[in-house]
Amino acid sequence: MNGLAEKLNFSIIIAKTTTRLLSVKVANLSIPAVRLFKAVLSKALRALFFFSMDDSFSSEDDDHLFDLDYHPYARKRPLSSRLDRDEHDETDDEETNRQKLYLVPYRWWKETQRSVADQIGGILYTVLSNDNYADSQIVLELRKEESSGDRVKAEEGVSGRAYALVNEALWLQTLKWHNDSKASENDARNHIVAEDQSQEVFLLQIRLSFSPETNSLLVKISLKDNTVNLYQRACCIFSSESELLQIWDFSGQTSQFVMNEIINLPNISSGKPGKETLLELHVNGFFVTTTETNERSAELSRTENSLGKSQVKTNGSSDNLSLMLTDASPSGSGYRGIGLLGLTGLQNLGNTCFMNSAIQCLVHTPQLVDYFLGDYQKDINYKNPLGMNGELALAFGELLRKLWAPGAVPVAPRMFKCKLAKFAPQFSGYNQHDSQEFLAFLLDGLHEDLNRVKCKPYIEAKDAEGCPDEEVADEYWRNHLARNDSIIVDVCQGQYRSTLVCPVCKKVSVTFDPFMYVTLPLPSTTMRTMTLTVFSTDGIMLPTPFTIAVPKCGRLKDLIDTLSVACSLRNDETLLVAEIYKNQIFRLLDEPSDSLALIRDDDKLVAYRLPKVSETYPLVVFLHQQVERSYSFGVVASNWKPFGVPLVARIQDLSSGSEIRNQFLKLLCPFLMPVEDVVNDYDGNETGNTVNENSKMEDIVSPLVSDSDVGSDSGAENDFRLNTDFKFYLINKLEPLEIKMNKPVSISRFTKKFDVSVHWSEKMMEKYDTCLLSSLPEVFKPQLFTRRPQESISLNKCLEGFLQEEPLGPDDMWYCPRCKKPRQANKKLDLWRLPEILVIHLKRFSYNRFFKNKLETFVDFPIHDLNLSNYISHIDSQLSNCYQLYAISNHYGGMGGGHYTAFVDHGHSRWFEFDDDKVFAVSEDRIKSSAAYVLFYRRVREA
């Protein structure tokens, strides 16, 4: 004890006696002294402590708990205060607040390629075993090797009875490495992990105390604290009849326990052992099915019923002593399954499949698994106002470790959901949500909780105009890292180059922005089909509907340009687009920058072909009205009712109402009903046919009679007839004003547009095909009861669409620094810096204030060879641009309801589907489907 005490700086102990109390319970220890003890050991130990022991004492008069919340390197608050429990959390979730110690075979521990044992200082203990079979108890005395020191490195060639004491994080890291290593070896031989290489962990109750007289630790393993089966296993491991037993402590917990006892000097006197603490030790080892172990199992089975006070016979084989038994553990005493590592499902708490899907993709991200199984707590930023005081990161780390623990049952992520809801309140409750939206908030929350930058510096943006893009991009990235530095940034964040061009002054602005994921629009999300009816004003062509494809977020200019090509618009013509509602022009779409998103599918649009030379003339809108008769109590009532699509024209000369009439008749020419038997009735009788032809053509020619023919008899007759068949009224605010044929129209010369109401007689209704005026298709009419063919597109096409230049929307204007005005600039994004983990979000859902939609487009994405070299603007020769798919978040169903699952590559192209708490293997050819929603790629080195 004196040797250990001399190593302490007691002046520091005195200085630390006034420090704040710990929020942990320690058995008979001075809390300020424990605070000091943690500070001292933080310089000596380099291990991660995120494990639990059963914290109870055999002493009835002392209910304090042994402090196992110690972490020598992470400056953190006690675990119990970080992970406050909710009232609805179940008892099994309390395990997340505890810490676990694992006893593993040392050779197995050393096999890992990560050489964890060589990196972390260990303390070597020689173990003397005193088997007191009369009392059914094993007493182990752990004496520290004086030559080992506090940071002795583990040596090679240790005995077969050497074990390592590690914490849960280091155990999981090593276990995962062995799991991956075995999977790699077996994959080369094309068979799965063998059953005889499975692994088991069982819980052993031990009593730990410190002996000041011998300066050693005492461990008691008794039958009364354990079941017969577990006690037998302990006898196999710690039997005194075998060669010398050694235990390497890489957890730092034995040193901590000794230090606590030494600091608590008043409670320990020479010859009086310290108080015993009942702890739970997780014993871990390999089973190999051999004849020898089967015989050993049979021998122990025979002695099981007669154990009691009798002596347990064991042999001294060093081979057997390092192996666990092959028989199945009793329920609750242990678990097997190295081959099942990382294949644990998540319970659905109620519409939480979106969360489960995204979590499974994240917890199988290699870099994040290694990070959260390691010493991630040292990076927790408790003072970040944008974070959750580390609570979200700790909850995620706990959840990840549960999912990677072998033999675990499906986990209920209640605590994690509670912590997430505090960071993002929209995820509280049990409503349906979007997995990509959840993923974005989770990554952002983890970044803020793990941001290594404790005080973010203010960095003023500099004018980089004229500088090379490489220099500007590097400066932007350095500025970003100066304020944001976390595992999320290291792994998941890349960099865009964003280019804006002012459409007026051509000012170019280039910025470099970070991104966490890439959202790729599908072709159906970028384009929409629209049907418009084109009306000609030349008196020749009938109205013709045209269906065109335009950008969904495009402008009216895009629609006019596309429609001009579709209808073969001449150079001397222009299009005037209008929305028709209740037989009137509801609005004119005459602003080229208007957004097409304002046009709904059930709108009715027309486009009038007008000559360019008339653009300065007043626009006349002809509104059609017909007589509607109603009968009520034997009385006939007549009133005028609008019908058809308005016709428009531009008229220069308004000195006479006849100009308006003539222009209207010209517009109606294409709607004249065909003359029957004009040619077919010709039978060789020239005179008779001529008479019939003249009489029938009279009605066709007469509407086109001009004012110059008024002086003739026929002209006067036609003019009189037309005046009686059509009536024209100028619509004003007071009352309609009839337009006289030979008198000027009473409008202001500054008027740019006016409406004219045209009253149709019954005779004219028969003469013209008014059905062509009344039938107008909608912009888009969905086909009911018809299944659209499955759309298919490659991921490369989606990338090309994402990188195309497009105009900003009217609600997203850019303030041009040169024009000093908001401008609807053209924007182009380029990939500049790619992350280690590339998350690709396929934009299947579209929303606006009128409707929601989901696209079932099948996206053909590569699995093994996604090469982005052709899509990145800046090539870094030191980094690969090749990626491999390892996880997919899927969405099945539509907008009203759906379900999320996940596909995960468990290594070596072994794919599994995670459907909440159900996990099962799937073949690689099944993972491509139209349900793929979020794709997870990892960077691979080019061959």
CA distances in angstroms from 916 to 218, 349, 893, listed in the order given: 45, 10, 16
Return the H-helix or E-strand segment holding 640. strand 635-650
- DSSP assignment letter at 670: G
Residues with Cβ within 8 Å of 847's Cβ and at least 6 positions away in sequence, in order, are 853
Q: Hey, CA dihedral for 359, 362, 364, 369, is it positive or negative? A: negative
Catalytic residue numbers read 353, 899
In order, the DSSP letters of 761-826 are PHHHHHHB-THHHH----S--PPTT-PPPPPEEEHHHHHHHHTS-EEPPTTS-EEETTTTEEE--E
Q: How many residues does the chain have?
A: 943
- Cβ pair 481, 514 in contact under 8 A: no
Residue 781 backbone dihedrals phi, psi, to 5 degrees: -115, 105
Interhelix angle 435-449/353-362, nearest 10 degrees? 50
Residue 186 backbone dihedrals phi, psi, to 5 degrees: -70, -30
- How big, in percent rounded to 5, are the helix, strand and coil portions of the chain? 30, 30, 40
- Cβ pair 10, 37 in contact under 8 A: no
Q: Hey, CA dihedral for 268, 274, 279, 284, is it positive or negative? A: positive
Q: Which of 942, 89, 842 is CA-nearest to residue 434?
A: 842
Beta strands 792-794; 858-860: pairing state: parallel
Residue 396's CB is within 10 A of a number of other CB atoms, namely 25
Give helix then strand counts, H and E, for the chain. Answer: 26, 38
Label residue 359 exposed, middle or buried (CB < 10 Å: 0-12, 13-18, 19+). buried
Cα gap 839→516, rounded to integer Å: 7
- Cβ pair 29, 210 in contact under 8 A: no
Cα gap 84→395, rounded to integer Å: 10
Structure tokens at 125: 């203990």
Cα gap 250→599, rounded to integer Å: 68
DSSP-derived 3-state class of residue 92: helix
Half-sphere exposure of 575 (CA within 13 A, CB side): 27
Cα gap 172→112, rounded to integer Å: 12
Cα gap 471→464, rounded to integer Å: 9
Cα gap 737→325, rounded to integer Å: 107
In order, the DSSP letters of 644-659 are EEEEEEE-S--SSHHH
Query: In 16-63, where do the E strands start and end?
Result: 56-57
Half-sphere exposure of 53 (CA within 13 A, CB side): 30
Residues with Cβ within 8 Å of 763's Cβ and at least 6 positions away in sequence, in order, are 725
Beta strands 826-833; 821-823: pairing state: unpaired
Q: Which of 172, 337, 175, 185 is CA-nearest to residue 908?
A: 185
Q: Which of 413, 400, 409 is CA-nearest to residue 369?
A: 400
Q: Which of 925, 855, 931, 854 is CA-nearest to residue 889?
A: 931
Give a three-class secondary structure readout of 532-584: EEEEECCCCCCCEEEEEEEECCCEHHHHHHHHHHHCCCCCCEEEEEEEEECCE
